Amino acid sequence: MARSGEVADAAEELHGWVVVGVVPATAEAVVARAAEFARRFGTGLACVAVEPDRMAFAESIDGTVLSYPIAPEDWADEITFEPELRERLLTVLVDHAGPVAFVALTGDPATGLASFAGTVDAPMIVVGSREAGLRGSLREFFAGSVALHLSHRQTRPVVVVPLAPVSRAQALPWEDEL
């Protein structure tokens, strides 16, 4: 897991904030719900995007982790939160009165979210349910469910925001794909 440089410095400032895992395709719905929890807890909201296509190779004493991309053409000097995604989320958070931070990490999403939540002593981690469709099924098959990993590999409460709920009469998303 790698943090953008500002995260290591800001960990104390984000103490006790609600942590939300951000995936570009479903970010608005999950962040909007996480903002409700942050408001109810009277705390800030840390929007955390974890880039799984990078591998960590060293960690400094301040918590900054150096990483490299799996695909060499994706090389970048520093991990940053996507500016376009940040702007999309700011429009969702326009009425959110509390403070908001945007954090970019690398590595396994569940491990990154759990580690960051532990660093800032988050009261909870908010994530979305899996993506519908074949792409979501393949990602979950190979990497596993982030929510499932979080619920079994760390001690903070995990809130899973339903992204595409179906009625009892409908097949569950993964049942249609088999």
Report, as an integer, the average pLDDT of 29-35. 96
pLDDT of residue 42: 94
Question: Domain residues for 149?
Answer: 2-176
Does the structure show a pLDDT above 90 at 107? no
Report, as an integer, the average pLDDT of 109-118. 92
* DSSP codes of every residue in 61-127: TTS-EEEEESSGGG--SS----HHHHHHHHHHTTT--S-EEEEEEES-HHHHHHHHHHHHT-S-EEE
User: Is residue 52 packed enough to be buried (19+ CB in 10 Å), middle (13-18) or exposed (0-12)?
Assistant: middle
How far is residue 68's CA from residue 106's CA, in Å, rounded to a whole number? Answer: 9
pTM over 0.85: no
- Under the banding of pLDDT at 50, 70 and 90, the label for residue 57 is low
- Select the more confidently predicted residue: 141 or 78: 78
- Under the banding of pLDDT at 50, 70 and 90, the label for residue 77 is low
Domain count along the chain: 1
CA 170 to chain centre: 29
Domain with residue 148: its CATH number is: 3.40.50.620
Weakest-pLDDT range from 29-33, 38-42, 84-88, 128-132: 128-132
